Homo-oligomer: A and B are copies of this chain.
Amino acid sequence: MWSHSRLLELLNIEHPIIQAGMAGGVTTPELVTAVSNTGGLGTLGAGYMAPEAIRDSIQKIKHLTRSPFGVNVFVPEFPQATENEIRRVNELLEPFRNELGIKAESKPQVDEKLFEKQIMVIKEQQVPVCSFTFGIPDQDIIKDLKNEGIVLIGTATTVEEAVLNEQSGMDIVVAQGSEAGGHRGTFSGSYSKSMIGTMSLIPQVADQVSIPVVAAGGIMDGRGVRASMILGAEGAQLGTAFVTCKESGAKQQHKEAILHTKETETAMTTSFSGKPARGIRNDFIEKMEGYEHELLDYPLQNSMTKGIRKEAAIQDRPEFMSLWSGQSPRLSQNKSAAEIIQSIIFQMEKINR
């Protein structure tokens, strides 16, 4: 049924399943390679990673698999913040820091050359697939990577963004529906207008681009993957489904939260990073509600909350952690990545019969 799609050919994989390149330590080399070795595409979520760490992880990945894999990076933006804005955010974050007994960070720290350095490692390591979130990189980067034979995947949350990805030379576009956990990939137009459900987004995107479309958002099992393909996608990208799996590097509290929550318990928030993202509603999200217009832009806000998130995990205080999750947590399972993929394939074959 899906043995000859352009997507499978482009990516040189067996099953139309991409593990999303989630940042923040979820995508261990063990997870990436478990997915790739089972015939899907594992992806290292390198968005926040230093170039040396990316190089290390890629080398581990290459040691653990001969199959293709991807690396996901964040197209950068360079916002500014005044001293006053920073002081105000420190004020807003103080109650959480006090609860955790840590001192205030005085300034956001962002490496403005990070993306360039990440791209250099991706080229140097001849990574088979590179995917982008939060925008489309400059044409010289796109041409450079394509010259190296690297397959490029862009992210879109609207039809217009999908068309921009195609026009820029992306080989594949992930269409991310509003159900998706973690950050919105929106880069053109307002966030609120770009919250399009997967059921609506996929056919409308598929009708307007000719490159292969990959569906994302709320997809956790064979029903979701097969439904996506009927809607016009050639495959699906799953994030939350892999957060809870055994090889995932997600914090235990994060895994437990997903495994025990309901579809009504996620919320969109900008409070952790400055960009809208979907996570399980907790104290941090609720207490920051109403202050979102005072936060710093991404990635400055992300830098400001880093200490809180890290310390909250150490002290086992999930109420202050970013517990990213899509809207289908009732479908989550604590199995190995291979078992998850095999059960997806089994379900899909059953549906096809």
Q: Which residues of A contact B (CB under 8 A)?
A: 158-160, 177-179, 189, 192-194, 196-201, 203-204, 207-208, 217-221, 223-224, 226-228, 230-232, 262-265, 267, 326-328, 330-331, 351
Q: A196-B263, A196-B264, A227-B230 are in contact. List 19 more A-B contacts (CB 8 A).
A: A158-B263, A158-B264, A159-B330, A177-B199, A178-B197, A179-B196, A179-B200, A196-B327, A197-B197, A197-B217, A197-B327, A199-B217, A199-B219, A199-B328, A200-B217, A200-B263, A200-B328, A203-B223, A204-B328
Q: Is the CB of B217 within 8 A of A223?
A: no
Which residues of B are found within 8 Å of A203, using beta-carbon distances? 220-221, 223-224, 328, 331
Q: Is the CB of A264 within 8 A of B193?
A: yes
Which residues of B are found within 8 Å of A326, using beta-carbon distances? 200
Which residues of B are found within 8 Å of A204, using beta-carbon distances? 263, 328, 330-331
Which residues of B are found within 8 Å of A199, using beta-carbon distances? 177, 179, 197-199, 217-219, 224, 227-228, 328
Q: Could you tell me the dominant secondary structure of chain A's interface residues? A: helix
Which residues of B are found within 8 Å of A351, using beta-carbon distances? 230
Q: With both chains docked as a complex, state the minimum distance between the C-beta of A281 and any C-beta of chain B, in angstroms.
A: 8
Copies in the complex: 2
Candidates B159, B219, B224; contact of A262 at CB < 8 Å:
B159
Q: How far is the CA of A179 from the CA of B203 in the complex (A)?
A: 13
Which residues of B are found within 8 Å of A230, using beta-carbon distances? 223, 226-227, 230, 351
> In the complex, what residue of chain B is closest to A205 when comparing beta carbons?
B263
Q: With both chains docked as a complex, state the minimum distance between the C-beta of A299 and any C-beta of chain B, in angstroms.
A: 25
Q: Is the CB of A193 within 8 A of B224?
A: no
Instruction: Report if A218-B197 is in contact (Cβ < 8 Å); known contacts: A160-B264, A204-B328.
Output: yes
Q: With both chains docked as a complex, state the minimum distance between the C-beta of A164 and any C-beta of chain B, in angstroms.
A: 13
Instruction: Report if A207-B264 is in contact (Cβ < 8 Å); known contacts: A199-B177, A199-B197, A351-B230.
Output: no
Q: How far is the CA of A230 from the CA of B221 in the complex (A)?
A: 11
Q: With both chains docked as a complex, state the minimum distance between the C-beta of A40 and any C-beta of chain B, in angstroms.
A: 19
Q: How far is the CA of A264 from the CA of B201 in the complex (A)?
A: 10
Which residues of B are found within 8 Å of A264, using beta-carbon distances? 158-160, 189, 193-194, 196
> In the complex, what residue of chain B is closest to A198 when comparing beta carbons?
B199
Q: Is the CB of B263 within 8 A of A159?
A: yes
Candidates B177, B207, B224; contact of A330 at CB < 8 Å:
B207
Which residues of B are found within 8 Å of A201, using beta-carbon distances? 263, 327
Q: How far is the CA of A218 from the CA of B199 in the complex (A)?
A: 6
Which residues of B are found within 8 Å of A231, using beta-carbon distances? 223-224, 227
Q: Is the CB of B159 within 8 A of A179?
A: no
What are 13 A-B residue pairs whose CB atoms fall within 8 Å in the complex? Answer: A158-B264, A159-B264, A179-B197, A179-B200, A196-B263, A196-B264, A196-B327, A201-B263, A203-B331, A204-B328, A223-B232, A227-B228, A230-B351
9 closest A-B pairs by beta carbon, nearest first, are A200-B218, A200-B327, A179-B197, A197-B197, A227-B227, A198-B199, A199-B218, A200-B328, A193-B264
Q: How far is the CA of A194 from the CA of B263 in the complex (A)?
A: 8
Which residues of B are found within 8 Å of A160, using beta-carbon distances? 262, 264
> In the complex, what residue of chain B is closest to A227 when comparing beta carbons?
B227
Q: How far is the CA of A102 from the CA of B326 in the complex (A)?
A: 47
Q: With both chains docked as a complex, state the minimum distance between the C-beta of A240 and any C-beta of chain B, in angstroms.
A: 10
